[in-house]
Structure 1
Amino acid sequence: MIDTSAHSRRSEPDEYAHLRPLLEDLAQLEPYDPKRSVIRDRLVTGYLPLAQHIAQRFSGKGIAKEDLVQVASVGLIHAIDRFDPRNGAAFLSFAVPTVMGEVKRHFRDSAWPMRVPRRLQELRLSLNQASAELAHRRSRPPTDAELAEYLDISEREVQEGFEARQAYLAVSIDEPPSGHEDRAPLSETMGCEDAALESVENHETLVLLLQDLPQRARVILALRFFGEMTQSQIARKVGISQMQVSRLLNHILNDLHHELVDVPERSEDVVGGRR
């Protein structure tokens, strides 16, 4: 008969070998024995470097290392509480997947900056693994069709997974790009001065000026620039000669031009209520 307990002790690294008796002692105590909390605390403290090491493996992926250590520590506590040394397995063979599972679950549930259905979260992970595997086999990035065949899903689902991947990591426009702290933040590279802003101010000023024009002058401008009529057509419409239409248009446009150039003084009049 194989001595599984001896095999487990040999499988435990030397740095944690001294904790094996504590695991066995913990398993023999009743749930409400006051000694449990003391031994449990010693085990958590002793195996804490394991949780820190696993947290370090997942750092740099959008979650602060301190938070990962905390999550990994919770996984370690779960492993200590559930481990039964009488099964013969080494504690690390049980604890490592337990702690890693806790960290991965935290990434799945908390690392997304926007709410994404769990199906798409898991699809993203599957696509990442499949992409790496197929790229290694073919020495090139796989196509959507190849990924779909490999995962036994449709190409539409592959596209959904890629779209979900875009939501995994949000980028602040007020911070420099990651790894390029010497560069300007994204907010300084987006957009430019809108050349049409000045025309907005001119438009609003022109509206006020047009309201001050006599009725006939407004009609002539409307027919010319909105109705696209010729001077002869305007003359027949208004009942005056073409020469009069020409002189009136020149006079109106010159007055409007001078008024627009004098915008600062007109703006003060409007603000002061003198219009």
Structure 2
Amino acid sequence: MTNVTTGATGLRTRLRQLSDDELLGRLRVLPRGSEERAAACEILVERHEKLVRSCVRQYRNSPEPTEDLMQVGYVGLLKAINNYDPAIGNSLSAYAAPCVSGEIKRHFRDKRWQIHVRRSAQEALLELRKATEELTHQLGRQPGDGELAERLGISDEELLEARQADMVFTTYSLDAPLSDRDESAELGDVLGDEDAEVDRAIDMAALATHWDELPEREQRILVMRFYGNLTQAEIGTRLGISQMHVSRLLTRALGHLRDRLLDAAVSV
């Protein structure tokens, strides 16, 4: 056990001496699941922790816990590390920043509050911003929630509701004209639809990182099931195995991919 631990420590020591581009170059040639690849990825994540914190800092007044947003940001960083090509980009930091910010924005987009906000919450939000600025000057630091609630004379629940109101984006009518000219185009005319293929591309890229970990037969089963739209019985006929066996292999393959993706998000 001591030799294994010493070897792992020595490996990380050697890798820490490499630049980002050198580490990224090794990531592209090392087999997935290897100890060296995992160590190189871990070192890159550690080096760019400040970048993630910088992206999260602008949301420090949101209802979402900072540590939760850090986890979301790390997911974006890992995607950047896996997709960045040193031969094309200028630096990993420049490439990763929009990836991290985009992942955090996606998180808020999926969890944001309803557009309608009660008038009392809107008024409390204005008072909250004012009180935050005044107390920051008086105390020489960011005031805590208890100090803000006492200053405003509101409960903790009302303070939270005001903070939640701050998460709502400014909205405009889709019928609003874009200019004062006659027959001007309306806002709804120039807004594009959300491209579902973007999310699908990100999901496929994440799956690709663990695809080679599956046995070849399980890869074929997944392809035939989800791209060929074959039934389990049809797959079994082509592979010469029972439908029950196909079901077990399919369940095992999907379970492995799911566990690997969840482990990647939690480990960072």
Larger Rg, first or second structure (1 or 2)? 1
- The alignment's TM-score, normalised by the length of structure 1, stands at 0.37
Higher relative contact order (CA 8 A, sep 6+): 2
- The alignment's TM-score, normalised by the length of structure 2, stands at 0.38
